[in-house]
Every structure is written in structure tokens, then in C-alpha cells.
Chain A
Amino acid sequence: MGLIQREIEKAGIPTIGVSIVRKYSEKVKPPRTVYLRWPFGHPLGEPFNIAQQRVVLAEALAALRAIQTPGTIIDLPYRWRREKYKDEDFRLILSHASKQGL
């Protein structure tokens, strides 16, 4: 995934990757990454958990602007299946990001 991400960024489009294998991201060095220590096949979380999927997306979008140093990996704090997500969580993440100029 990171190899493709690097080529897209090289072509002039900003990219953000959601990673679930930190070691791979460290090696491949894509420009921007949010990392979750979650199982394979679940980068956005669990099926039909819309609030959770929105939180991950909001974090990824916020990271687009927050990351200023190429190759940065942001470790997201969410634990697998041990968090409760509320409908408004993603709004807080995005509104915080927009205050910072996103």
C-alpha cells in the first residue's frame, strides 16, 4: 500500500494512509500515515459500526493537515473493541482540525 501511496504523492496529489502494520509503514516510508493496532482486514474498524468508521476517517483527514514532516506516523489511541464511539465523536475531530486550518 505504501509503495502505491508514494507514487501518487510523487505525482502531485497529497495522500494519507491508514496502516495496521506499523513496521511496514516504517520501512516503506509513505508521506503520511495514521496507525491503528487493529487486526488485518479492519482498517476502518468493525462492520456496520458507523461511528467508529467515521472516527477513523476523521482522524485520517485531520492528519492530512496535521502532518508537516514527510514520513510521519500518527499512532491513534483507539483500542480494538474496547472503545465506545459516539455519533458526535468524528465532528469534534474534524472541527478541531478545521480550527487548525484544515
Chain B
Amino acid sequence: MMELSRFKNKIISKIITRYPSLAKRFIDAYDPWSSPDIPWTPVVKPLTNSRIAVVTTAGVHHRDQEPFDMKDRDGDPSFRAVDLRRPLASLMITHDYYDHADADRDLNVVFPVERLREFAREGFLGSVADMHYGFMGHITGRHIPTLIEKIAPEVASRLKQDNVDVVLLTPG
């Protein structure tokens, strides 16, 4: 069932790429949420031994990285790798679709890495990964197949390579 839906997504994204004029029809008909199956990986490791990473759709990125594209009405499906070995002050938010005034004052409101570090220091968590990932949440239309088929799996494989055991997702 899962394979079939992935196959369908791949075909659709190819058709849309090749025939841009058809894109709108496919987007209108395309329901990314029609899949009845829900992915599942059981939790086996205790938290006290787990490495955690955060993936946020709140638009978080380093100041010297390219900001998310706010002009595209379908959003920006790309991600920014956030390196926690750099100071937190090097981070900022680009996201026009929610009010991030509070998050600008305290990033933990959307990207709670200081709280996670405290949990790790106090022994509730094994460790906090160095690399985390920022997305811009307002992704629709033609970017959804790109996100599902290409970009999200790439982030997933980076997290796997980094031996991350648990991922926390936060919105904007």
C-alpha cells in the first residue's frame, strides 16, 4: 500500500515537472493526505540513552544562510541545516505566515533546543544532536510532491547518518 502511494507521488511529480501547463489540474486533484497508511517505527531505546534532533517548520535558519523564499505562493520546500555548535544568536526566522515576534525574543518557543540541552544535562535524555533542520511551513501545491518525495527523505537520511534516535517536530 505504501509502495503504491509512493509510486503514485513519483509519477505525479514527474508529470508536473515535464508538463507545467498541466500542473494546476494535477494539483487540484492531488490529495497528499489520501494515504490511509500511517508510517510507524516503534520506540525501542530508552530516552535516557537516545539522541534527539528537532525538525521545525517555523522558518528557523542561520543568518548567513539564504532566507526562505517568501515570494512563491506555494511556499519554499527547501530546508536549512541548523548547526548547534554555532551560537544560538546566529539563528533567525524567515516566515511571513505567522507572527514570530515572541519566537524572535525566545527561539525556544518554536525551537526548544536550550530546553532539550537542559534535559540532556540533567540526564533525562541521552544527547542532543548537533545538526537540526529548519523548514518553512507554508508549503502547498506543486511543492508538496517535491517535499514528500525528495526533500523530507533527504533530511531523514541525514538524521539517520547522524545516529539520531528520536525526532521532535515543531510548527510555527
Contacts and interface: CB of A to CB of B under 8 A. Distances in A.
Contacts of A18: 168-171
B57 A46 contact: no
B84 to A, nearest CB: 16
Contact of B164 (A13, A28, A29): A13
Interface in B29-48: 32-33, 35, 38-43, 46-47
A4 B165 CA distance: 16
Given A2-B169, A4-B55, 11 more contacts: A1-B169, A6-B39, A8-B155, A12-B160, A13-B160, A18-B168, A29-B35, A30-B169, A41-B103, A48-B106, A70-B39
A67 B107 CA distance: 28
Contacts of A6: 38-39, 152
Interface of A: 1-21, 27-31, 40-48, 50, 53-54, 56-57, 60-61, 64-65, 70-71, 94, 98, 102
10 contacts: A4-B57, A7-B155, A11-B153, A13-B165, A19-B171, A41-B109, A48-B106, A54-B118, A70-B39, A102-B43
Given A8-B156, A14-B41, A57-B115, A44 B109 contact: yes
Interface residues of B, number: 55
Interface of B: 2, 32-33, 35, 38-43, 46-47, 55, 57-58, 98-103, 105-106, 108-110, 112, 115-116, 118-119, 124-125, 135, 137, 139, 144, 147-148, 152-153, 155-157, 159-160, 164-172
Contact of B119 (A41, A44, A57): A57
A71 B103 CA distance: 28
A5 B41 contact: no
Contact of A9 (B33, B41, B109): B41
Contact of A70 (B38, B153, B155, B157): B38
Contact of B115 (A5, A9, A12, A44): A44
Given A7-B153, A42-B109, A53-B112, A13 B159 contact: yes
Interface of A is mostly: mixed
B166 A16 contact: yes
